[in-house]
Amino acid sequence: MTNPLQLSLTNEEGKRKIIIAPVLEKVDKKLHPTGVYKIFKDAVGDESQLFTEPLETLAPNNDVPEHLNPDYLGEIIFDGLSHWTYHGDILSLDEQKQTANYIMKY
């Protein structure tokens, strides 16, 4: 997975819309997933679309650190094909599983 994805998670209170953004690295002039996926809140009802075109620049954009970004929900890190860990304290265990399963199936 090299482009961000939108996903709607189900939980006890209804639904939580998220964006899954893969962290990429450049290898041989191509971008490849690292196994790290950052998770952000998605705006409800904004009818926005994610960009699916290739990035125009490979320069990192580190303007706002994750811990200061109110939309940052944590990250899921895959170690191999199916073992993963969640770093964060917002998503419930069920929401973590939904997110990880979606990434593995993608």
pLDDT at 96: 97
* Count of the separate structural domains present in the chain: 1
Which pTM does this prediction carry? 0.80
CA angle, 98 then 7 then 99, to 5° = 25
Which tens digit of pLDDT belongs to each residue from 35-45?
A: 999 999 997 65
User: For the chain, where are the alpha helices, taking DSSP H only?
Assistant: 93-105
d(CA 6, CA 29): 27
Domain that holds residue 39: 5-105
In 1-106, DSSP assigns E strands to: 5-11, 14-27, 30-41, 72-78, 84-87
pLDDT tens digit sequence for 42-89:
976 555 555 566 666 666 666 777 878 889 999 999 997 779 999 999
pLDDT score at 24? 94
